Structure formats: structure tokens, C-alpha cells
Structure 1
């Protein structure tokens, strides 16, 4: 059957049409009901990127499979209006997600995007210098107000379809209805250009998604940790040891660990003045079990491991205390040093030792998340760090 004689869209075009109609309506309603809810915000971004690439695929499919001609009895002005509505729809289906992507990229609040909680998605390139409240406000205005344009076009689209369905000319609604409705001519199958339409969009999607993986190491010059002068007399059992942190995000507890770190330990219970410890933590190894948290914590305003891959903790001023010991922990992170008290217990049995300790840190003092959340409105300022593990005394 030729395109000129065909009266229905292809099955692929029909499926894309209704899937995107549902996604667009869902997207708008979700956008109006996020209320600073991070989970909904991430879902909104995920669906937006999905719509963007479905729109590109649909545009490619339409190019390879031109739609059936409009009814011959339709007035020319109505054909022109129908064409203009379709052009506007495509412009919005591509432009609105791009505006949202741009808005997130230039926002002073640099929150990472993780599609459906699984796939890291980068910000638009060359937007770092544009990050400001003014640019963000313009992008947010266009992005939010465009929802009304979509609803207006949707009303025109539906009204036109219904009008022609009940009018004197041949109806157009049944051309886009799935085959299970009525006894209309079946959709044209199988269509052509599947690889062109979907393969091209998928390749573009994969290339963009690969950017965080390619540049995950950062492009800054790494700052080397100081060489330890400590003469260790203990060997840490790293498999049985852990550095953990716990905090609160939007009223819910979260926590994680650093998977890679080393410690030089010189500790003599009978000679505390002689004791010293240095711990070097690989900030790239931070893990929370939630990809969104991991991506944010590896951002520039948090640990920034691309430029500062290591944090150094030096313990000194050891003293006995009720039930254990105390020490001063001097933490050097992102070129800044902060000292906090550390309390710990140490049980020594022969040449084996078991450690348990904790210290409370301040995000503000460590310059963590001070661009997007300086007032601790979302993430509590206090972070508890706990140390646990085992070590063996060197003979």
C-alpha cells in the first residue's frame, strides 16, 4: 500500500503517539506537585529525558514514514492549522525537555541527575559559567510556563480530531487509534527506517550517558597527600575495619563508607605522648548504596575527588578517658584543615587490638555542600563519623 493511499499511521507511530501523550500529561502533573520532593524531582528529570529521546525517535520515524494525507474534504486553512499544531508539538516535545536540562545545568544548586535511580546523566556542556540565579530564573520561567502551551495545543489537537470525526469529511481520529478500536483499516506495517529513527536516538543517548564515566576522574591536578613519617607498630586488618559516616537528608537518615583508605599506626598505651596515627582516605571510594547520593557527594561542592582525591586525618594528643581514650583528629580536606575531638575504645588482647571510635563533624567547617545547602535546610550540618576495626601488633 502506498503512502498516498494509506489512511492510517504505522503501528510504531501509533504506539509513540499514545505513549508520549500519557508521558506528557504525567510529566506536567508531576511538575506541579513536586513540592521540593527530591524523589519526584529526580523522576521528573528522568521522564523529561525519556520524552526528549522519544520525540527525536518519533521525528525520525515520521521522516522515514510520512503520515497519511489529510482528508480531501478538509479546508486548506484547517490543513494548515493542523500542520502548525503538529510542528508546535514537536518543538515543545524537544524544546521543553532541553529547557529543563539547561535549567538544571545552570542552577546554582548543583543537584546531580540520576535517571530512574540507575544512570548518571551529565549537565549540558559549556554551562558552568552561566550558573546564576538570573539565568536559572529565565530558564525556569520558560520551562514551567510551557506546560500551559502544551495543554493549549492538546486542546486544539483534540478539538480538531473530534470535529473532523463528527463532521461531513472523513474522520481523522481513527487513523491514530490502536487497532483494537473499531473495524478501521489496520495500521500500516511494518514501516521503514527503524534503525534510523531509534538507532540514532539510542546512539546519541548512549554517547551522552557515557560522559560521566569518561570524565569521572575529574580534570583537575590531584593534590598529593603528605608522606607519613610515622613508624608504625600496628598493622591494620582492612578487611575487618571500616570508616563510616551518617547524616540526615530531608529528615531521613542516610550513611555510607569509604572503601579505600590506609593507616599508619604508632600506638603505645604506656607512652601516649609518643603515639601518632595518620589515615589517608580515597574520597573517590565513597559509597552510600544510593547512586544519587554517591553522584552528589562526588560533585565539586562536596568532596570533589577529581581535584582532591584524598583526605588526610592525623590523630594526636592522645589521653586516657573514662572507658577509653581521647585524641585530636586534624582533618585536611580540599586544602582546608579542621580539628575535632575523637573518643575511642581500644581492647588489646596479646598482639590483637579491636578499635571503636566516633567523632562529630560539621559540613560547614569542612566546606561540604555549602553552595546548594549552606543553611542545612536539606542535609543536616552534623555528620557522625565512626571508626571500627582490628589491628595486629608488629613483632
Structure 2
């Protein structure tokens, strides 16, 4: 009579490899995202990666809870009789540690993004989480509405825990694989065959009897895992080119006055793309040329959306392709200038269906009106910086707007930040569109331009 090894159920095997594949995909992606964020990269590529990372991470959480429930209802195969007591203890402890990691990793990540706080910039970062673009994921414990101090503390604690758990998962996974190989190659028992479909234990003389239902579940489950991994990889690769927009061709020039220190409240101005700047008056200082850092510059937007039951949620997005031309002289505001050109079909808030709607005639009408522009008409100095007054044109409709902004020059780095609130109905955004009443009329537009001094 042939001897055969006991195995996990088909459902347990599919859940095991689905969770393992997702975590293997998420770990390098997470470290890459962290490195890019540490470098100040706010590109659409990083934005897309964060949304995918969060969606897959939440999937790991749901699958891990299902796996835990299945484990409690369906005891695992018995351990080999030759295993000493200490090894059995370590094996059990390792499996339960994995459950803790599989649940703790996504939970700490969810807690971190719920705070709406960036640990890289130590500043608010209200980017909503959309589960594969299907629906918005709520913030845990209402942290996004808490005071700044609590959000900052929670964000730093959650991120530290998430980061440490990632390294713990790597270490535990390495030990887990080495132990499984040790059982198969040296102990020659059935431990590895418990979980690997189609693998025989070293002592098995023939394949176990075929179970059609088991094979169907394994085949379908493993196929879904492969398709999901392929789709996630293609999603990242296909969208990568959108991050390289015309901002790489932007220009940034500042006249640094001999009487103005670099830490004084500065101003930023931008010149029309392919349009000459206003005539320059003699300056007190010398004009410095700067190179715009596309990875650290962004034009973002945010709005509120009613879910139909009286509750509203914040949605944030950005434009992946734009150009800004800036010339600023704090002692000659009259001859300073700024111009921004935005490709409206590059707008994205992380929800695929929203991105498609924004290009349609009722919104940006990107086919007929592919760009939106802002051109300054005057500048004024304010207590905390400056304001640029100018004309904003969207869908062929021009309105006067005032953009408060600051410009800080620190050695070889210059950073301009500005935020302006616009009424979307002034530009017929959402006009005669079903459901537009669920979207706030006020849209906040935030501009960040970072540049390095040219040699």
C-alpha cells in the first residue's frame, strides 16, 4: 500500500499563496515608495503606486482574516512524528507570528494613511484612499478630522510600526523558507508537500488519488493569483510615463536682491509658456537661473464629495503634465511674471472612473479644450509672502483669481508654495452633468514648484 502525505485543504493553499504573493509584491514596492517620498517625489507615478499599494494591502488584510477563520475551523495537517518538542513549539509560534504580521502590517498602514499626515514632510497630506478605484476607504477612528498634534503623533507611530513589521516579515519569511527546505531536503518529510500543489513528499512512492474538486479550486485560485499579479505590474508600468510631464521644460528665474536675505519672505512668478515675459526693468540684484525639479513639483486639487446620505468625503488628485514659467524680482514686482499651462487630460484623483469623467465635455472637455492656463497680471507683497493676481482660463472661460504664495530660498534650493480656491461653476465644470451636485463647488488648487540653482 502506497504511503501518502496529508495536505492542507485547497482553500487553505490558495489563501496561503495569494497572501504570500501579495506581500512579496508589496514589500519592494513599499520600500521604493518610501525612498521616492523621502526624496520629495510627488509625481503621478508615486501617487499611483501609493493607491495600488494601499488597495493590495487592504486585500491582504481581508484575506488574512479569512485565512485565520479557515484555520480555526479546519485544523492543519499533523506535524511529522520525528520533530522534537522545541521544533514543534517554534513551528507553531512562527505560524501565529505570521498571522500577527499579515494582519498588523495592513492595519498599521491603514492607520497611517487615515491620519492624512506625511511623515516625510511633517505636514498634512489629505489624500483619500480608494480601493482599486471602486469606493473610498474610511479613515480609522476619524483620525483625519483630529487635531494636528494627534494626527502627527499617530502618523509617526503607525508608520514606524508599519516599517518595522515589514522588516520583521522579511526576516520571518526567510526563516520560514529555510525551515521548509530543511524539512524537504534533509529531514525528507512531508512538511513542504503540505502546501505546495503537485509536490510529493520524499517518501511518497506514487501520486495521491486525484480529487477533481480539489484540482479545480487549486487551478482556479492559482490562475486568479497570477492574473492579479500581472494586472498590478502592468498598472504600474503602463502609467509610469505619465509622470514625465512638460514641467521638465519649465523655467524659473529669481532676481536675488543684495538687500534681501535668502530667508526673507520671497515670491514666485511664472512666465507664459512660449510667450515672452513682460519687459524687465533694471534690478537691484542679479537674476539667478534655476532648474525646476519635476519630481518634487506638483499641481494638485482637492474637493468634497457627498456620498448621497449627507456624509461628505475629501478627494484629492493632481495633474501629471503641466508647465510653469516664472520670473520674480521682489524689488520689481511690476515686471515679474508667471504663466502656467496644464494638460487637463492628465488630471487624476486615483479613481479610474473619475479620471475618465473629468476628460468628458461636462467637465474639462479635454478633447476640445486640452489645456488650462494661468497668467499673472500683477503682484503684491503681503505680510506672509506675496500674492499673484491673474487670469485663469479653463474650457475657454477666463476669470480673475488671486493666488497667495510664498517663495523660500535656502542655499541652492528654492521652493514656491501657493493655494487658491476656485468656484468650478465659474468655468462650467460639471454643468448639466448628472450627479454634479454631489461635488463641492469649491475646488482647492495647490501649486508647489521646487527648483535647484543652475551652475
TM-score by length of 1: 0.53
Task: Determine which of 118, 125, 139 is the counterpart of 2:141.
Answer: 125
Find out whether 1:83 has 2:92 as its counterpart: yes
Contact 2:132 2:351 in 1 (8 A): no
Contact 1:85 1:153 in 2 (8 A): yes
Find out whether 1:153 has 2:193 as its counterpart: no
Larger mean Cα displacement after TM superposition, 60-69 or 48-57? 60-69
Query: Cα 1:180–1:186, aligned 2, differ >3 Å: closer, same or farther?
Result: farther
Superimposed CA distance per residue, residues 239-279 of structure 1 (whole angstroms, 9 cap, x where no aligned partner): xxxxxxx98457584649xxxxxxxxxxxxxxxxxxxxxxx
Taking the aligned partners of 2:55 and 2:398, their CA distance within structure 1 comes to 38
Taking the aligned partners of 1:89 and 1:292, their CA distance within structure 2 comes to 32
By how many angstroms is 1:384 displaced?
11
Query: Cα 1:50–1:187, aligned 2, differ >3 Å: closer, same or farther?
Result: farther
| Structure 1 segment 133-152 matched on structure 2, within 5 A | 133-152=152-171
Find out whether 1:69 has 2:78 as its counterpart: yes
Contact 1:73 1:170 in 2 (8 A): no
Structure with higher Rg: it is 1
Taking the aligned partners of 1:295 and 1:189, their CA distance within structure 2 comes to 43
SS at match of 2:397: strand
Contact 1:340 1:361 in 2 (8 A): yes
Find out whether 1:48 has 2:38 as its counterpart: no
Taking the aligned partners of 1:8 and 1:148, their CA distance within structure 2 comes to 30
Taking the aligned partners of 1:71 and 1:361, their CA distance within structure 2 comes to 75
By how many angstroms is 1:14 displaced?
0.8
Find out whether 1:173 has 2:208 as its counterpart: no
Larger mean Cα displacement after TM superposition, 174-183 or 112-121? 174-183
Query: Cα 1:169–1:376, aligned 2, differ >3 Å: closer, same or farther?
Result: same
2:10 aligns with: 11
Count of residue pairs the alignment pairs up: 250
Contact 2:133 2:352 in 1 (8 A): no
SS at match of 1:358: strand
Taking the aligned partners of 1:67 and 1:187, their CA distance within structure 2 comes to 20
Taking the aligned partners of 2:84 and 2:209, their CA distance within structure 1 comes to 26
By how many angstroms is 1:360 displaced?
5.1
| Structure 1 segment 1-395 matched on structure 2, within 5 A | 7-34=6-33, 35-36=36-37, 37-106=46-115, 107=117, 108-127=124-143, 128-129=145-146, 131-168=150-187, 170-179=189-198, 184-185=207-208, 213=307, 217-218=311-312, 248=319, 251=322, 253=342, 255=344, 290=349, 292=351, 357-359=397-399, 361-362=401-402, 364=404, 387=427
Please list every run of 5 or more consecutive structure 2 residues that lacks an aligned counterpart in the other structure.
Answer: 38-45, 118-123, 218-305, 324-341, 356-386, 406-414, 432-455
TM-score by length of 2: 0.46
Taking the aligned partners of 1:173 and 1:186, their CA distance within structure 2 comes to 19
1:372 aligns with: none
Taking the aligned partners of 1:135 and 1:356, their CA distance within structure 2 comes to 45
Query: Cα 1:180–1:164, aligned 2, differ >3 Å: closer, same or farther?
Result: closer
Contact 1:51 1:93 in 2 (8 A): yes
By how many angstroms is 1:126 displaced?
3.7
Superimposed CA distance per residue, residues 60-93 of structure 1 (whole angstroms, 9 cap, x where no aligned partner): 1111211111111111110100000111100010
